[in-house]
């Protein structure tokens, strides 16, 4: 079986120097994927040592391309025609133009994707791209509060054995070139004015509160506190397959983590409102302000395309190993629910984005209840046919169920046409549909 190169797919038989320009071209254009271990004609030859190839590719991309494009690159080993190949998936970068460090910002160093190949960008094209992407975002703006402290951020870097000082703050864009704190610095500081609000409801709607909590401080502090709070409500239930016990959380831990990170990294902080998380009996929803970035569709998001509204915040989370790369979170959530009866729901509207995760244990319980009800229904039908005439009280006693349950079962069987209700003096009795009282 063979495949074809196109605008967003490039093949390499093995890792070569030209890989760098392909990654640059995809990051500067509409994104795309490079497959190493596939010939130009699309025939799969495979890679013997994928780990070595992935390591070499990572080093090549990290050391040769500027600005840092790794947050937009995801490298993994995949199977094609039963052979191992290396897949390098590149999302559209936010710091365009990307270029070869040794060539600089000139046509020899800057590439874009045209058709099924990569081409140098002209001097005018480079200038236009710089102009297009140079507008300052919210996180680059100057913070109105310059009395900031970073105790949480420093502790997080310390735990990861990573230096955190003036040079790192400038590199991460926490401090601007003029030495003042940026809005990114404000978000990561102990004085961050944005919060996460979590509400826990009884049942499947928001009619009855059980608990509510608001988390403040650095976004990193909010992330940790919110996750721990949700985790307390993420119960574990045992399900048995014969003698084998399987413990299942209400929500996959990794799905909760990804949804929470998504709500923090991609929200629009120019809005003053809080990120909202609602826990119901049957689902949990994460609501973040801002909707999708202009030009990005819901369909593209579900395909794995990502354009971060806060690229520098995302870069900090990437450096702290909280995220792998852009564009993987939602696809990871979908993969975690792949075998579930009910799937996650992603909704985008003007000014807002929602991720809703279904409670896996609640789904199993509902299915069991349906099976149980079907079993009772069949037994009641047979019992009525055998007796010819029964009362609701007899059904309660025979099947050890309460009055309300017995009434629901009998009403359902009448609606389905299996039995009918008759009057026998002062008594109400139930008889098979085809019988006469």
Q: Where are the domains of the chain?
A: 9-135, 139-188, 196-358, 365-432
CA distances, 91 to each of 101, 125, 304 (Å): 20, 20, 8
Residue 177 DSSP label:
T
* Alpha carbons within 13 A on the beta-carbon side of 369: 8
**Residue 437 pLDDT exceeds 70:** no
Do 113 and 25 meet the contact criterion of CB atoms below 8 Å apart?
Answer: yes
Do 327 and 74 meet the contact criterion of CB atoms below 8 Å apart?
Answer: yes
Q: Which helix (H) or strand (E) holds 311?
A: helix 311-319
* Alpha carbons within 13 A on the beta-carbon side of 114: 5
Of 117, 166, 141, 162, the residue nearest 11 (C-alpha) = 117
Do 325 and 305 meet the contact criterion of CB atoms below 8 Å apart?
Answer: no
**Residue 88 pLDDT exceeds 90:** yes
103-119 core/surface letters (b: 16 or more CB in 10 A; e: else): eebeeebbbbbeeeebe
Domain 365-432: which topology? Arc Repressor Mutant, subunit A (1.10.10)
Q: What is the reported pLDDT for 193?
A: 93
Strand residue runs (E) in 14-72: 32-36, 65-66
| pTM value surpassing 0.75 | no
Residue 399 exposed, middle or buried by CB count within 10 Å (0-12, 13-18, 19+)? middle
CA distance 71 to 317: 10
Report, in angstroms and rounded to the nearest whole number, the Rg of the chain calculated over CA atoms: 29
Q: pLDDT band for position 242 (50/70/90)?
A: low
Q: What is the pLDDT of residues 322-359, one digit of tens each?
A: 887 666 788 889 988 887 778 899 998 888 999 999 99
CA distance 340 to 31: 30
Q: pLDDT band for position 216 (50/70/90)?
A: very high
Q: What is the pLDDT of residues 372-405, one digit of tens each?
A: 555 667 788 888 888 888 999 998 888 888 888 8
Of 116-125, 186-195, 416-425, the range with the lowest mean pLDDT is 416-425
Q: What is the average pLDDT across 74-91?
A: 94
Q: What is the average pLDDT across 47-61?
A: 95
* Alpha carbons within 13 A on the beta-carbon side of 328: 18
**Residue 279 pLDDT exceeds 80:** yes
Domain 196-358: CATH class, spelled out: alpha beta
Six-digit token pair at 92? 């559209």
The angle that helices 253-265 and 311-319 make with each other, rounded to 10 degrees, is 140
For a pLDDT cut of 90, what percent of the chain falls above it? 48
Q: What are phi and psi of 413, to 5 degrees?
A: -70, -30
The CATH code that applies to domain 9-135 is: 3.30.950.30
Other C-beta atoms lying within 10 Å of the C-beta of residue 364:
15
Q: What is the reported pLDDT for 435?
A: 47
CA distance 422 to 437: 7
Q: How many helices (H) and strands (E) does the chain have?
A: 14, 18
Q: Which helix (H) or strand (E) holds 322?
A: none
Which residues have a Cβ under 8 Å from the Cβ of 271 and sit 6 or more positions away? 289, 290, 351
Residue 97 DSSP label:
P
**Residue 369 pLDDT exceeds 70:** no
Q: Which residues pair with 279 in a beta bridge?
A: 200, 284
Which residues have a Cβ under 8 Å from the Cβ of 177 and sit 6 or more positions away? 170
Six-digit token pair at 411? 């009403």
Of 361, 351, 421, the residue nearest 389 (C-alpha) = 421
Helix ranges, 339-417 (H): 360-387, 392-399, 403-415
CA distances, 261 to each of 290, 371, 373, 420 (Å): 15, 37, 40, 56
């Amino acid at each position: 079986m063979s495949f074809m190169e196109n605008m967003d797919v490039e093949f390499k038989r093995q890792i070569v120097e030209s890989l760098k320009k392909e990654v640059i071209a995809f990051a500067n254009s509409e994104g795309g994927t490079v497959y190493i271990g596939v010939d130009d004609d699309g025939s799969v030859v495979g890679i013997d040592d994928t780990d070595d190839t992935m390591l070499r590719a990572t080093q090549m991309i990290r050391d040769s391309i500027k600005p840092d494009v790794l947050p937009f690159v995801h490298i993994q080993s995949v199977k094609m025609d039963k052979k191992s190949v290396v897949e390098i998936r590149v999302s559209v970068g936010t710091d365009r133009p990307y270029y070869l460090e040794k060539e600089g910002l000139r046509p020899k160093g800057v590439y874009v994707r045209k058709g099924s190949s990569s081409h140098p960008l002209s001097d005018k094209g480079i200038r236009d791209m710089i102009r297009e992407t140079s507008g300052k975002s919210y996180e680059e703006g100057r913070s109105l509060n310059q009395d900031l402290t970073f105790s949480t951020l420093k502790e997080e870097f310390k735990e990861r054995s990573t230096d955190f000082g003036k040079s790192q703050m400038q590199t991460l864009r926490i401090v601007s070139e003029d030495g003042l704190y940026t809005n990114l610095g404000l978000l990561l500081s102990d004085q961050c004015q944005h919060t996460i609000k979590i509400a826990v409801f009884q049942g499947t709607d928001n009619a009855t509160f059980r608990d509510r909590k608001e988390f403040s401080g650095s976004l990193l502090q909010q992330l940790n506190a919110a996750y721990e709070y949700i985790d307390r409500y993420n119960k574990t239930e045992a399900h048995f397959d014969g003698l084998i016990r399987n413990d299942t959380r209400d929500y996959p831990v990794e799905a909760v983590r990804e949804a929470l990170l998504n709500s923090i990294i991609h929200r629009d902080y120019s809005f003053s409102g809080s990120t909202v998380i609602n826990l119901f009996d049957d689902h949990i929803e994460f609501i973040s302000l801002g909707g999708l970035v202009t030009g990005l569709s819901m369909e593209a998001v579900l395909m794995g395309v990502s354009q971060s509204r806060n690229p520098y915040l995302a870069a900090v989370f990437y450096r702290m190993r909280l995220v792998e790369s852009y564009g993987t979170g939602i696809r990871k959530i979908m993969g975690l629910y792949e075998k579930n009866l009910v799937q996650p729901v992603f909704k985008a509207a003007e000014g807002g984005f929602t991720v809703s995760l279904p409670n896996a244990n609640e789904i199993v319980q509902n299915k069991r209840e349906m099976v149980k009800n079907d079993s009772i229904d069949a037994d009641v039908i047979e019992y009525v046919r055998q007796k010819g005439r029964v009362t609701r009280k007899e059904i309660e006693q025979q099947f050890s169920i309460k009055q309300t349950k017995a009434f629901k079962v009998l009403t359902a069987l009448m609606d389905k046409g299996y039995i009918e209700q008759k009057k026998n003096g002062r008594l109400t009795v139930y008889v098979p549909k085809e019988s006469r009282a």
